[in-house]
Structure 1
Amino acid sequence: MAYKTLFTGKTHTVGGSNGAARSADGFIDFTLPEAHPAAENLFGVAWSACFMGAIGVAAQQRKIKLPETPSVDAQIDLNHAGGANFFLAAKLDVSIPGIDRAVAQELVEAAHEICPYSKATRGNVEVEVNLI
């Protein structure tokens, strides 16, 4: 399959008492708390941003002008089922103000099919996507 790379994100992360995360372009640059870096929060931010972009693509494909910017509230749960059995679950609450609810629902469903994060987690992570 031939493809064109649209963007490459490069980061460097260091743990421990001097923990930090930085993207190669400098856009991301922060310290990580030693106790718990909350990777689930970082994953939620990345997935939300990607999902909003996918909503834009879905709207553009359907020639729908979004009157307002969508928003996504992500909840990423780190779960433990004993031993070394750790797993994630996710909930995405999506708001697309200013358009008919049925159209918004169609865009949410399409975005979930388009978004690379949604694709990457499909079959691996229990995901609940809600239009709010």
Structure 2
Amino acid sequence: MKTLYTTSVTAKGGRNGHLKSDNGILDLEVRTPKTLGGANDDYANPEMLFAAGYAACFDSALNLVISKSKTQTGETSVVAKVSLGSIENGAFGLAVELDVNIPGVSLEEAKSLTEKAHQVCPYSNATRNNIDVKLEVTNN
């Protein structure tokens, strides 16, 4: 891989701690969500941050694919739903559902563009064959 960009975030305290990026832009407390034993849902958590990164990155990959194909669409959106679950041997795993909306094209074209973006997106490439990623596509 030819590196194009590198960033760094320091975590202290794990799921009930603090995150800070090397440039200070990201500087926030994280807490365990209520459904996993936390006190409430008033803070960010690792799965939320992963969902935010995946959604933004996938939408960028999608718009790159759309631009290169010279297809006219409406404004795209991607909702990333990240689930944390238990897997064998007491370990934990992730699953992702990406709800992709590409208005202004047929559903068939929207699905094709989404599949192409799934091949381009670095998050998709990093997770491929490692976690389940389900693509749901709409065109309204």
TM-score interval, normalised by the smaller of the two chains:
0.7 to 0.9
Correspondence for 1:131: 137
Counterpart CA distance in 2 for 1:77 and 1:17 is 15
Correspondence for 1:45: 52
Displacement after TM superposition at 1:118 (Å): 0.5
Q: Which has the higher helix share?
A: 2
Which of residues 94, 97, 121 is equivalent to 1:91? 97
Describe the shift of the 1:104–1:79 C-alpha distance in structure 2 as closer, same or farther (beyond 3 A). same
Gap regions ≥5 residues in structure 1: none
Counterpart CA distance in 1 for 2:79 and 2:8 is 25
Query: Could you list the per-position Cα deviations for residues 71-100 of structure 1 after superposition, in whole angstroms to 9, with x for gaps in the alignment?
Result: 111111111135433211111111112233
Query: Could you list the per-position Cα deviations for residues 21-69 of structure 1 after superposition, in whole angstroms to 9, with x for gaps in the alignment?
Result: 122233322111264963111111111111001101111221124332x
The 3-state SS of whatever aligns with 1:105 is helix
The 3-state SS of whatever aligns with 1:44 is helix
Gap regions ≥5 residues in structure 2: 33-37
Higher relative contact order (CA 8 A, sep 6+): 1
Work out the number of aligned pairs and report it.
Answer: 129
Q: Percent identity?
A: 36
Which of residues 8, 11, 15 is equivalent to 2:9? 11
The 3-state SS of whatever aligns with 2:103 is coil
Q: What TM-score do you get using the length of structure 2 for normalisation?
A: 0.79
The list of structure 1 runs, each at least 4 consecutive aligned residues, that deviate by more than 3 angstroms after superposition, is 34-37
Is residue 30–residue 46 contact of structure 2 (8 Å, CA) maintained in 1? no
Answer yes or no: is 1:33 the counterpart of 2:31.
yes
